[in-house]
Amino acid sequence: MCRRAPGRALALVLALSACTVAGPVTAARADEIPKAPGHRLVSAYEGAPATARPVPGTPPPQHPYLAPNGRSGMHADAAGSGTHPYPGPLGDDPAVTSERIAPLGGECATATFDSAGRLVTVCGTFSGFLLKLLDPRTLDTLAEYRLPQRSSTVEAITRLDFSRIFKDTSGGAYFYLDDRDRVVLADSRGHVLRIAHRQLADGTWRFEADDDWDLTPYVPHDCVSWTNLFPSGVCDPVTSVMPDWQGRIWWVTRLGRVGTIDPETSVVRTVRLEGEEIQNSFSVAEDEVSIVSDHALYGFRADADGTPRVQWRRTYDRGTGTKPGSVNQGSGTTPDLFGERDRYVAITDNADDRMNVLVLRRGADVPAGRRLVCEVPVFGPGASTTDNSLISWGNSLIVENNFGYENPGSLTFGRSVVGGVTRIDVREDGSGCDVVWESDIRSPSTVPKLSTANGLLYFYEKKPHRLGIDAWYVTAVDFRTGERRWSRLTGTGPLYDNNWAPLTIGPDGTLYAGVFNGILAVRDRDRRDG
């Protein structure tokens, strides 16, 4: 009984905070995320500053309904490339600042940037997601918009099973910034919102919902809530939203529904992938929408009336179960569109022994026998999985190993994952793929990024420590060679665990990382006062 009491007390506190209605939000100064004991006993910086070496190549096409490439969403652009055109930190005496969002939790996952460089992000707290406008230099909160609490949070609190939260990709974590600086997201009520931020006459900022499309007539929504603790129906949360090149808003749900919204008429069309789950986001080319379920990779197009239509489907090895380091039994990757005219699409599978990187040719007219370009096994036997998107640039792919990561409690007391990062290149003639280099980087769960302006890959790393210190680092790696260039300590303890959040490079060269207790920024000496 005594061992359960703290958990019950925590549940009560969280339940009370979840029922609190927030008043008007004013600008607030950032509070630093506290470090756990031991941060003075580990190295603060390793390696040496790198020299910028831009990588040649053609960037992904600029989507007409998204903010500029590098600013618009978790995966940086419509192709899901994971690349930024801005020069990230070179490691010249880099400094770390942070903002603590909530007493517990508060992770700011997706980071986007409006046309003036202000940071727009969604942060997860136990009382609900918060859409926040942050000063990119100080991380001060300029405006805040409260989103409804997810059913997984209510379940976690009432059943004392917090693993439910870390397997839930719904509620607004996947959102995008459109070409007019508006946030588009699906909240936990089954509504798709388009939200603008505006400056008032007194200089303060606020968010305003310009549009609200209700999907509840099309999506089962008998979900757990404080007023519905024992639902008897089906709860199918919306996972992600993205626009196509005609301006329709596409959306997907956990239980395999795929739909569109016409923003001009509010007409909704939907289809169902029976018996399949969708836990990842998706990517959009001019001619096709690429969606991966836990069974297959799809190419979709919309009919004239907006109804999603499957153009082609390719199954993959989904394995026999969910691995430690995966959200569900299936691919953990948002599809990457790359190569000349985005002719290739890449994902990983969930094969039991060794995960494979799969590269396929896109398009409805590709013969079945020519669809697969290559299938490359990566990482060690019995210890390979990823739940993060690949990085793609030119004909190159970067994949990291998340095997062994579950949640912020899984790597405490100095533990880490087996790790590994691999670069794979598609041959120029499309005849197959080759492994270019392999690295021992231990990046437990981050969505890594590439700065094409300086040729550095950025990972969020944790090494095992014999004294049990949980030290987290931003690590820069040479894209060409896989060599580690430098690592900068960000903090110690589970509050600095990034828990599936991406790294993001801002227009001013600052590197941002969502962590369990908020968000942090890393910038070189020459950019601290810029």
- What is the pLDDT, as a whole number, of residue 55? 98
User: DSSP states of 46-101 as a string?
Assistant: EE-PPPP-PPPSPPPPPPTTBPSTTSSBTTSSTT---EESS-----SS-EEEEEE-
Provide the pLDDT for residue 526: 84
12 neighbors 462 (Cβ within 8 angstroms): no
Which pLDDT score, from 0 to 100, does residue 311 have?
98
Q: Is the pLDDT confidence value at 2 over 60?
A: no
Helix (H, G, I), strand (E, B) or coil at 121: strand
Give the single-character DSSP code of 20: P
- pLDDT tens digits along 24-52: 455 677 799 999 999 999 999 999 999 99
Q: How confident is the model at residue 10 (pLDDT cuts 50, 70, 90)?
A: very low
- The predicted-structure confidence for 83-119, as pLDDT tens digits, reads as follows 999 999 999 999 999 999 999 889 999 999 999 999 9
d(CA 15, CA 12): 5
Residue indicated by tokens 């055109």: 85
Give the residue from 269, 254, 516 showing the smallest Cα distance to 407.
516
DSSP β-bridge partners for residue 485: none
Give percent of the chain with pLDDT exceeding 70: 94
Tell which phi-psi region holds residue 239, choosing left (phi > 0), alpha (psi between -120 and 50) or beta: alpha
d(CA 330, CA 322): 7
Instruction: Give the other-Cβ count within 10 Å of 304's Cβ.
Output: 5
Alpha helices in 89-227 (DSSP H): 151-159, 163-166
Per-residue pLDDT band for 23 (boundaries 50, 70, 90) equals very low
What is the distance between the alpha carbons of residues 503 and 143, in angstroms, rounded to a whole number?
22
DSSP state at residue 499: T
Residue 4 binned pLDDT confidence (cut-offs 50, 70, 90): very low
Q: Under 8 Å CB-to-CB from 165, ≥6 apart: which residues? A: 124, 150, 152, 153, 156
Domain range summary for the chain, segments of one domain joined by +: 25-80+102-527
Question: Rounded mean pLDDT of 178-192?
Answer: 97
pLDDT at 150: 87
| Cross-strand pairs, 252 | 240, 258
For tokens 């209605």, what's the residue? Answer: 21
Residue type, 305: D
Q: What is the pLDDT of residue 423?
A: 98
Q: Which fold has domain 25-80+102-527?
A: Methylamine Dehydrogenase; Chain H (2.130.10)
In this predicted structure, the answer to whether residue 434 has a pLDDT above a threshold of 90 is yes
